[in-house]
Amino acid sequence: MDNIYQVLVFIHIFSAIVGLGPGFILTTLAKPAKNMTELRHSYNLRHTIHTFVMIGGTLLLVSGLLMGLLNPALFKMGWYVTSLLLFLMALAMGPMVLAPRSKPIKKLLESHRGENIPEEYHGYARKLFQAEYLENLIFLVIIALMILKPF
């Protein structure tokens, strides 16, 4: 049983690196774009990287819950429960906050003709990036809780 737990810890840490690490750069990819070609390319890269984030995030959740099932005492530890609740909150942000803020950008990227970046993009991007910054902050708090186990 101890070996299974250690494998789960490895998967959990590896998933955090592969899944969360790339997620922290998503907001930086589109910022330097100077024209629509570069902006479209940036959002294609964001989409590709987001696949890693989703796979890593799923593995994080599954491995974390499995560790809790193997060691039920974790469900009595504040840092574990808080991390789990924050993670579920961040997960819910995808369809509830990020997707609605991404839709106008996707529509604009598909429909806009010409190389100039339309002014309305900047407002859409600001709202999306603010939500992504909040999500990144949540993930940083979770990482700190996992390392420090303060309560």
Mean pLDDT per segment of 10 residues, for the chain of length 151 residues? Answer: 94 93 92 96 96 94 97 97 97 96 97 96 97 97 96 94
CA 92 to chain centre: 11
- Sign of the CA dihedral with 37 first, then 41, 43, and 47 last: positive
Count of other CB atoms within 10 angstroms of residue 137: 12
Confidence at residue 1, expressed as pLDDT on a 0 to 100 scale: 77
150 token code pair: 């303060």
Is pTM, for the whole model, over 0.85? yes
Residue 8 CA to residue 82 CA, distance in Å, equals 20
The ranges assigned to domains in the chain are 2-148
Residue 71 CA to residue 22 CA, distance in Å, equals 29
Confidence at residue 37, expressed as pLDDT on a 0 to 100 scale: 97
133 token code pair: 């910054």
Confidence at residue 105, expressed as pLDDT on a 0 to 100 scale: 98
